[in-house]
Amino acid sequence: MQSASASRSPAPSFAPADASVAPSLAQFDPELAGFIDDEAVRQRETVRLIASENYASRAVREASASLLANKYSEGYPGARYYEGQQNIDKVERLAIARAKSLFGAEHVNVQPHSGSPANLAVYLAFLQPGDPVLALDLAHGGHLTHGARVSLTGKHWNVQHYGLSRETGRLDYDAIRAQARELQPRLIIAGHTAYPRHQDFAAFRSIADEVGAILMVDMAHFAGLVAGGVHPSPLPYADVVTTTTHKSLRGPRGAMILCREAHAARIDKAVFPGLQGGPHNAITAAIAVCMKEATTPEFARYAQACVSNAAALADSLLEHGFELVTGGTDNHLVLVDLRSKGLGGKPVAQALDRAGLVANYNAVPWDTRPPRDPSGLRLGSPAMSARGFGEAEFRQIGAWIASAVDSGLDEAVLARIAGEVRELCVRYPMP
């Protein structure tokens, strides 16, 4: 009897015999290829501090650029609307099984194209237009899709916001409970994009239970830390958890929704056909790779480094006289309040970019400046932790930021830092 592999036809070769038949990107479109090469240099030679960015591995990038993108697959494994799903179904089932195992989830949908559609799918699954929702204010670390006025979520649902306490500078769960009693929300959203502390998911569960709300946690920012075992998991507490896969998780640009089995059918229906058509199958494959990478000891070490490096950066900034929202960090991000330095976040972020330190300006709680020119600077540790930076390098980053700010953003100082940044970065190869 023939073995399974012996019965297969010889492995096909996809390589064209003659490059003129199928030119490479660089051959066909050198202008565009040049832009990509320039971006590779930028990513290699700068210190990337945007808290939501990272470096995906070669394996993740190979999967996400694969020919699986050629296939349409509306529906779910075993129940598609198009034929020819023999391989795609295996890919999606593998991604789902690995995500369930990694996070201990009962059900996972790996099809949302990114974080905003994942969050929208939750609204669609559980709410009617106009229903009350309680979520973290954008200026206090929430996300646009947590009901910001400019977002669809703020226009179609009655979203009220909770924020940090003026007394403690942290979330105040008694105040959130009082707001929930008043509003009687159908949905409560926890999670954040710029809160440098752990959130108390048990407290959110208790508040949701008291008012009969669904509890959603948007863990996009800290999913990699949860996977690496260095951050509390929301899974035991939330009805539904959303996450992107490209932030601290280091996967492709995609998203997932993890939920209890009881909610599986309505979540799946909300993603497809509620919001999306065909899933991005190459991204699904890359999510499967990312889920496998996230189980490795190397990933756990990286996640630990994200936390210790952010703490080292926070300490360095405090020693240099900066004020930090909540006074420090428990996770991968630091939010600097620049008001005491008399500078706005935008000019500082733009100047740091010229120095090779790439971050983003950000609102701080009770910001008196407008969102397009706010008072804060958000810094994150994931990307440079993935490159192998340790606490010493992150302390150096704090010293560079202090030099730049204390010089009044002097161009000569920025140029000197840019040279030192480049020298340091070339010693740490990109993943």
Nearest to 379 by CA among 424, 322, 339, 429: 322
- The 206-245 contact track toward ligand DSN, x by CB under 6 A, reads ----------------------------------------
Omega within 30 of 0 (cis) for the link into 382: no
Q: Name the residue nearer to ligand DSN (CB basis): 96 or 220.
A: 220
Please count the CA atoms within 13 angstroms of the CA of 284 that sit on its side-chain side. 30
Query: Minimum Å distance from CB 321 to ligand DSN?
Result: 26
Q: Which residues are catalytic?
A: 72, 74, 218, 244, 247, 253
73 is a contact residue toward ligand DSN (CB under 6 A): no
The single residue among 52, 179, 381, 396 that binds ligand DSN, judged by CB under 6 A, is: 52
Q: Name the residue nearer to ligand DSN (CB basis): 53 or 172.
A: 53
Residue with tokens 């407008």: 370
Please report, in angstroms and rounded to a whole number, the separation of the first and last CA atoms in the chain: 44
Q: Tell me which amino acid residue 368 is.
A: T
Query: Minimum Å distance from CB 52 to ligand DSN?
Result: 3
248 is a contact residue toward ligand DSN (CB under 6 A): no
Rounded to whole angstroms, the Cα distance separating 199 from 203 reads 9
Rounded to whole angstroms, the Cα distance separating 284 from 254 reads 8
SS3 for 237-292 is CCCEEEEECCCCCCCCCCEEEEECHHHHHHHHHHHHHHHCCCCCHHHHHHHHHHHH
Q: Name the residue nearer to ligand DSN (CB basis): 68 or 138.
A: 138
Write out the binding residues for ligand DSN, residues 290-329 only, by CB under 6 A. Answer: none
Longest dimension (CA), the chain: 79
Query: Minimum Å distance from CB 193 to ligand DSN?
Result: 4
Compute CA distances 299 → 45, 227, 305, 376, whole Å: 23, 9, 10, 30
Q: Name the residue nearer to ligand DSN (CB basis): 133 or 220.
A: 220
193 is a contact residue toward ligand DSN (CB under 6 A): yes
Q: What is the 8-class DSSP label of residue 151?
A: S
32: β partners? none
Query: Minimum Å distance from CB 50 to ligand DSN?
Result: 6
Q: Name the residue nearer to ligand DSN (CB basis): 52 or 85.
A: 52
Q: How many chain residues bind ligand DSN (CB under 6 A)?
A: 4
111 is a contact residue toward ligand DSN (CB under 6 A): no
Query: Minimum Å distance from CB 54 to ligand DSN?
Result: 11
Radius of gyration of the chain (CA): 23
- The 9-48 contact track toward ligand DSN, x by CB under 6 A, reads ----------------------------------------
Query: Minimum Å distance from CB 51 to ligand DSN?
Result: 6
Query: Minimum Å distance from CB 20 to ligand DSN?
Result: 41
Nearest to 124 by CA among 279, 261, 272: 272
Residue with tokens 């199958």: 281
The single residue among 75, 115, 142, 252 that binds ligand DSN, judged by CB under 6 A, is: 115
143 is a contact residue toward ligand DSN (CB under 6 A): yes
User: Who contacts 330 (Cβ-Cβ below 8 Å, separation ≥6)?
Assistant: 196, 197, 198, 307
**CB atoms near residue 319 (< 10 Å):** 12
Site for ligand DSN, rule CB under 6 A: 52, 115, 143, 193
